Chain A
Amino acid sequence: MTVGATLETPSERASYLRAGYSLRSWLTTTDHKRIAVLYLYAITAFFFIGGIAAALIRLDLATPGGDLLSNEGYNRAFTLHGVVMVWFFLIPSIPATFGNFLIPLMIGAQDLAFPRINLASWYLYVLAGLFTLYALIAGGVDTGWTFYTPLSTLFANGYVAAALLAVIIVGFSSIFTGMNFIVTVHKLRCPGMTWSRLPLFVWSLYATAMILVLATPVLTMLLILVCIERLSGIGIFNPDLGGDPLLYQHLFWFYSHPAVYIMVLPAFGVLSELVTAAARKRIFGYWFIAYSSVAIAVIGFLVWGHHMFVAGESTYASAVFSFLSIAVAVPSGIKVYNWIATLYKGSISLDPAFLFAMGFIGLFVIGGLTGLMLAMLAVDVHVHDTYFVVAHFHYIMVGGAVTAFFGALHFWWPKITGRMYNITWGRITAALIFLGFNLTFFPQFILGYLGMPRRYHVYPPEFQVLHVLSSAGASILAVGYLLPLIYLLYSLRHGQPAGSNPWGATGLEWTVPSPPPKQNFAEMPVVTRPPYDYPIRDPMSRE
């Protein structure tokens, strides 16, 4: 490291980061880039809160007797883990940070369409986070993140209403963000940025925004109904008062299944950027990938019943939901094969971002295909509510969405901060996360098929070996997640200046200085070339 690296570069002096130093200038900002940074701080905090709960869970499961936590304590730990990770990390993760930062830059705009609403969404997120922390500190919640009735309305102790309120509020934050993205993509594209030139990251966030806007209100209404039943005793889901607990499950999964695509569609978008930049090659089958995002968003609304095969849903409804769940796997499969075809004859760099992308592809394929197994009715009857399901959705949400988040972080960090981090440490981290993840969650597929139910902390001793393996993997995973905190923060002061385009990638965001100036573009960009228009190389060149 040279002395010069620690000095401010000219582009840093003119950047959004230097547009004001006071706390007030950050807390009242309407700059999409600053709001993205605010979100990055907030979701990182919640990622570690949820992670601590996960660590307690894995530690407790190392012995079959559940010796670390009480039954009640264990139930509170996994409820906290689920609520925090789903609503306060996964759902806002890529959209609210990278989507916020990159959409205007990628489409040649100065900001999102509604900058103040963008800031309001962050404040709602923080307010909801405070309610969650209150519920946690006041004593916790033991309903599971699913809040199934009548457990949540009539039987659960704890601060259920505070937690419900937190989720209701954070839902409005999602709706604001989604609405902002849709309007921005429609109205603020610069001249020449046609729909066929839109980066696939923007396509996938556009599809995500549609789901955010259409699905989240269902959750909001549902949880308000749960609050009403819990607080005032009006019968909505209570069978003794003529209600139906399954009504709750239908409405909950009508939101919560599409919510899985809220988490994973942005990850797909990240992958399309990472793979093309790593291979320095045009994407294979642009329209197949763009439309598959839209297809996933649409079909994703029609598969909620696969969460209820053993809940009391009719046989024929189950058969239809099983079929539709198999159908939704097709557009996801298309994307994976298209990324691989993109690598063919590319010029592939093994930078950290691409190692994360490779990890994503492997983990997502396993997660997706075990999802196909779960869509098979007879299989689900056996493994529903077991560790098989736990392993499956962690492969999608952690192996998929979180790995893509880290890939995005390593790819766009130089753009956001203007500094390069240590590439070697990035590669080590990508490898640790991949290995730690598989060691943590692969044994859980076997546990699930053996019949180990989820949300159990006392279990038969013959399952212990697999649980210990899983806990050992979790400790490796924890190291993998903590390392970037060190070398990325170190890079802020001591990293080399990144330059505007350290990876040699296409895309408008790489044409502006790093970090970008407050107004993004000095003058309105005009797009004349297709996306991922990497130069055709001389076959014998040694790049």
Chain B
Amino acid sequence: MNGSLQLWPQQASGHAAQLDTFIMAFTVFVALLVIPVGVLVFVFAVKYRRGKTVDRQHAPNRKVWLEVSWSVVPFLAALGFYVWSTSLFFELRNPPSDTLDIFIVAKQWMWKAQHPGGQREIDELHIPVGQPVRLVMNSQDVIHSFYVPALRVKQDVVPGRVSSLWFKADKPGVYWMTCAEFCGTDHSVMGGRFYVQTADEYAAWLSSSGVDQSLAASGEVLFRKYGCSGCHAASSAVHAPDLAGLYGRAVALTSGETVIADEQYIQDSILLPQKQIAAGYEPIMPTFKNILRDDEVIQLVAYIKSLRPASWRVK
């Protein structure tokens, strides 16, 4: 980083390049609308300035076709841009199925990350280049917003909700990541470095970060330690929902609704078990809200996500 003048942000992803193309095209469109306004105001002010002899006869007071056309034509053109930008937006909201899921916890005033292998980091994030990455984010206090300008993406992290954001970085490098939503005293220093690494560098970073077990493995330990297995195991006498293959499945609720079991659902079921009751079960599960630490919740969610029907039977 240096103090020189910068006029265009770095591009670290295909999406960044697409958005830059969009914004340039849109700027041309805006210029086509602005320049005639500025030129005409100036020309008229000079040409028809008071005291100047000039033909002022037959000045129109209304022309409906003209008014309709200068309303409708720019509007239709703007709708073309609307379709373009909305399709880019839909891509941002529909992650591919093969994402690398990294858990993020935001709090005043830091970003804490946990990788699937159990590696942790604070105010830094290492990701592999060319691999779709999905951030699964929680906030412990106020609203934060995860923002990497080089990727042209941001997502608010709202307490009580699991927010997610996916991207695919194409260019290795070190970029700025930051918090975009005002979050209190040290908001403007809540940020850090975002490393996009080649597969080898990323593997080296993972192994150098020294952890003995993955998130899911840690979660499995907790699953026994906190007695979850007592009710949720297949052999249990207590009638509790089977968790095998739960992640991504449609779950019918006693309220008659059906929800997809995503990270939000699994986390809520641990922390706010009365919020959504699976159909056919008694609401007898206690809350673990003040028992589990935030990183332990993440480990448990990672473990439950990892439970395929077959793996459950073996264990």
A residues sitting closer than 8 Å to B (CB atoms) are 66, 71-72, 74-75, 142, 144, 146, 148, 150-151, 154-156, 239-240, 244-246, 279-288, 310-312, 315, 318-319, 322-323, 326-327, 329-331, 333-334, 336-338, 340-341, 343-350, 354, 358, 361-362, 365-366, 369-370, 372-373, 376-379, 381-382, 384-386, 446, 449-451, 453-466, 537, 539-540, 542-543
Contacts and interface: CB of A to CB of B under 8 A. Distances in A.
Nearest to B66: A341
A311 B158 contact: yes
Contacts of A465: 3-5
Contact of A362 (B41, B89, B161): B41
A543 B142 contact: no
A284 B147 CA distance: 46
8 contacts: A151-B142, A154-B141, A246-B158, A311-B156, A369-B34, A381-B153, A385-B147, A465-B5
B3 A340 contact: no
Contact of A340 (B41, B50, B61, B163): B41
Main SS of the interface on chain A? helix
B33 interface: yes
A310 B182 contact: no
B62 A75 contact: no
A376 B26 contact: yes
B67 to A, nearest CB: 5
B160 A244 contact: yes
B88 A378 contact: yes
Nearest to A289: B67
B92 A381 contact: yes
Given A148-B181, A369-B33, 13 more contacts: A71-B186, A71-B188, A285-B63, A310-B155, A331-B71, A346-B48, A348-B48, A348-B50, A362-B38, A378-B86, A537-B56, A539-B57, A540-B53
Interface in B212-233: none
Contact of A365 (B22, B26, B37, B185): B37
| 8 shortest interchain CB distances as A-B pairs | A451-B149, A239-B160, A377-B89, A378-B88, A345-B59, A376-B85, A456-B188, A382-B152
B34 A350 contact: no
A448 to B, nearest CB: 10
Contact of A344 (B7, B59, B78, B185): B59
Counting chain A CB atoms within 10 Å of each CB, the highest count among B49, B92, B156 belongs to B156
Say whether chain B's binding surface is mostly helix, strand, loop, or mixed: mixed
Contact of B93 (A151, A156, A315, A348): A315
A377 B184 contact: no
B206 to A, nearest CB: 28
A457 B190 CA distance: 12
Nearest to A469: B5
A451 B86 CA distance: 21
Given A148-B143, A358-B41, A385-B181, A539 B55 contact: yes
Contacts of B189: 71, 458
Contact of A381 (B34, B66, B82, B154): B154
